[in-house]
C-alpha cells in the first residue's frame, strides 16, 4: 500500500521528452503581418518551459525567473519564449509565429528580423 503513487512520479519524469511540444490541428487564423486570414498548417502546444533559446542558443539555467514575467523573452536576444500550456502556430503566408488563444486575437512572437524592424520604429514587441 505504501508503494501507491510511485507510478505517477515516473510518468511525470517521463514527461521531460526532448521535444516538449505536441502537434495540434492547424486552422485558419487572422495574421496581422499578412493582414489577412491565413491557414496555419503547423500548430503545436508547448508542454514544458523553453530551456534553450531557439534564436541565439543561450541556455536558461533558471527558466522560472524568465517565466515569472508576463511575456517571457530570452535575456540575450529578446526572442519571445513559448509558454507551457499555450498553443502556437506558423502562418503559411509569411512564416510568422503566433500565440493562438481561443476567443482572442493571436499574439505575434516576432522573430529576430521582425524585432529589429520594430526597434527601428521605436516599438517594443512586448504588449502591455
Rounded Cα–Cα distance for residues 100 and 98 (Å): 6
Residues 86-115 that bind Zn ion (CB under 5 A): 91, 93-94
User: Residue from 76, 86, 101, 123 that binds Zn ion (CB under 5 A)?
Assistant: 76
What distance, in Å, lies between the first and last C-alpha atoms of the chain? 51
Output the CA angle 21-67-29, nearest 5 degrees: 50
Q: What are the backbone dihedrals phi and psi of residue 87, each rounded to the nearest 5 degrees, phi first? A: -105, 145
38 and 93 in contact (C-beta within 8 Å)?
yes
**Of 41 and 76, CB closest to Zn ion:** 76
Least distance in angstroms from the C-beta of 53 to Zn ion? 3
Least distance in angstroms from the C-beta of 84 to Zn ion? 18
The SS3 assignment for 37 reads strand
Q: How does DSSP assign 65-77, residue by residue?
A: HHTTSSS-B-TTT
User: Residue from 15, 16, 30, 34 that binds Zn ion (CB under 5 A)?
Assistant: 34
29 near Zn ion (CB under 5 A)? no
User: Residue from 56, 117, 119, 124 that binds Zn ion (CB under 5 A)?
Assistant: 56
**Of 24 and 55, CB closest to Zn ion:** 55
Contacting residues toward Zn ion, per CB under 5 A: 31, 33-34, 38, 53, 55-56, 58, 74, 76-77, 79, 91, 93-94
Amino acid at each position: 500500500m505504501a508503494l501507491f503513487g510511485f507510478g505517477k512520479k515516473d510518468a511525470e519524469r517521463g514527461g521531460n521528452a526532448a521535444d516538449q511540444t505536441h502537434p495540434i490541428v492547424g486552422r485558419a487564423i487572422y495574421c496581422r503581418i499578412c493582414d489577412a486570414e491565413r491557414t496555419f498548417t503547423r500548430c503545436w502546444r508547448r508542454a514544458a518551459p523553453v530551456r534553450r533559446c531557439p534564436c541565439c542558443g543561450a541556455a536558461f539555467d533558471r527558466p522560472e525567473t524568465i517565466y515569472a514575467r508576463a511575456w517571457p523573452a530570452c535575456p540575450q536576444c529578446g526572442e519571445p519564449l513559448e509558454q507551457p500550456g499555450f498553443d502556437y502556430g506558423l502562418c503559411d503566408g509569411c512564416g510568422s509565429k503566433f500565440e493562438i488563444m481561443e476567443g482572442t486575437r493571436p499574439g505575434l512572437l516576432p522573430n529576430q528580423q521582425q524585432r529589429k524592424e520594430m526597434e527601428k520604429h521605436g516599438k517594443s514587441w512586448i504588449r502591455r
